[in-house]
Structure 1
Amino acid sequence: MKKLLLLLFLPSIVITQTSVNYEITFQSVWNAGHHGTLPGSAHWSDFVGATHNDQITFWEIGGFASPGIEDVAELGQNTDFFNEVNEAINPLVGSPTADQWLQQGFSPFAAISSSTLMTVNVHEDFPLITLATMVAPSPDWFSGVSGYSLKNPDGSWKTTHSVPVFVYDAGTEDGMAYSLSNAATSPHVAISVRNMFLFNGVYSQGDEKVGDITFTLLSQLDVEDFENLKSVTISPNPTNGLTTISNLNRIANSLDIYDILGKRVHTQSIENLDSVDLDLHLKSGIYLVNIKSDSGVESRKLIIN
């Protein structure tokens, strides 16, 4: 319980804006002294996740791992998790429960490493954030935050602060050592905090934090511009690669397109434009388009035939 108390008393700033920008950095402290003798190939998979509301949970302690979280935890792969987020952004029925996919690699390729998500826009309709990264190599261990609110109980946005994070066991694969070749856990068990590690026959207590995630408040945003961005359209969609993004209202800065693996496959500046014509040479499939301005991010699904 004392670990949870670290999250409760945070500075706040009372503002009326519907969204703010944060820079989000994961800084690891994964080390042999607290987490067992480390493998020579110790590293982290991409730092991935989403901003969302309280109508969806992507993972939580005591819950069962989704296929997406299982793939992140076991293999460091993001395809299924990306699809889960994309379905929440673009539901077939009902309202969106998430509004953007987040992904960034770590550097260096090592146990002590960091990853920074630059200028993450958080809207008041989607004030929660879930993040995950694989502790690699391992059976099914990962770290991150689940449904963490960037708002205080009084409705104000949290100012710059850090959150300690730990190693979690996804409950999908057996094993106590830092290795990838392990039998599946059958049936799956609930996600839990990992507190014992085995390497070269030696058990080590591992209940210390494995890193910190720092949320740096960058800016307060213009409400009117953000609402104007919601009118963006993509047509034709589906398309053979030739399509037009309209109603940018000269307030968007850039657009990024991600494939179903969560990999960014296209990026370009769209500053001071009302519309932009795209000639995309991409494989057939479903893509996620993130349209960014100083005041927010709008996501749209794009289908390439």
Structure 2
Amino acid sequence: MMSPFRNLFCQQGISLASDGLSYTNGNAYAIRLSGNASAGVQENDHLIGITMYPNPSEGLFTINTTEAGRYLVDVMNILGEMVQSTSFNNSMNMDLTGLAKGVYTVRVSNEAGSTVQKVTIR
């Protein structure tokens, strides 16, 4: 089977694990990817509509939904650890001021689906 990786330019002595050869042409390195090399990403037909603002913020965020109903909010840190979880109806003011500065993943879900957004606490 032919590798989906094709070398275009390389620095002196760099080799690719895909073919084990060492390339010495030029001063740069690039890979052209061809064929189907996706990692199993597929469309999500069950996304729910939300707006979350301001982003970035000092830790106070507002979440508004496009559909009425009960929602669950999970906040995860950069390690994927859940640092806060709560539920709300339609909209809420979320207070994350007790968390360290950084980027967090917020998942909002209901029985129809879910959506994920990144938020930054500065």
Distance 1:253 1:57, change over 3 A: same
Counterpart residue number, 1:125: 43
Amino acid at match of 1:237: N
Task: Name the Cα RMSD after superposition.
Answer: 2.4
> For 1:57, which of 39, 53, 63 is the aligned residue?
39
Q: Where do 4+ consecutive residues of structure 1 move more than 6 Å?
A: none
Give the drift of 1:252: 4.2
Distance 1:242 1:296, change over 3 A: same
The Cα offsets for residues 23-47 of structure 1, whole Å up to 9 and x where unpaired, read as xxxxxxxxxxxxxxxxxxxxxxxxx
Is the 1:252–1:291 contact (alpha carbons within 8 Å) kept by the matching residues of 2? no
TM-score, normalised to structure 1's length? 0.26
Q: SS of the residue aligned with 2:80?
A: coil
> For 2:82, which of 260, 264, 268 is the aligned residue?
264
Equivalent positions of 1:1-305 (< 5 A) are: 56-57=38-39, 97=41, 125-126=43-44, 226=46, 229-230=48-49, 232-270=50-88, 273-280=89-96, 281-305=98-122
Counterpart residue number, 2:31: none
5+ residue gaps in structure 2? 1-35
Is the 1:258–1:289 contact (alpha carbons within 8 Å) kept by the matching residues of 2? yes
CA distance in 1, matches of 2:66, 2:77: 22
Is the 2:73–2:85 contact (alpha carbons within 8 Å) kept by the matching residues of 1? yes
Distance 1:275 1:57, change over 3 A: same
CA distance in 2, matches of 1:260, 1:300: 13
Give the fraction of aligned pairs with identical amino acids, expressed as a percent.
28
Give the drift of 1:279: 1.2
Give the drift of 1:285: 0.5
CA distance in 2, matches of 1:56, 1:262: 23
Amino acid at match of 1:233: T
Is the 2:61–2:94 contact (alpha carbons within 8 Å) kept by the matching residues of 1? yes
Higher share in helix: 1
User: Between Structure 1 and Structure 2, whose CA radius of gyration is higher?
Assistant: 2
Higher share in strand: 2
Counterpart residue number, 1:152: none
Q: SS of the residue aligned with 2:106?
A: strand
Aligned residues: 86
Amino acid at match of 1:125: E
Distance 1:55 1:304, change over 3 A: farther
CA distance in 1, matches of 2:58, 2:37: 35
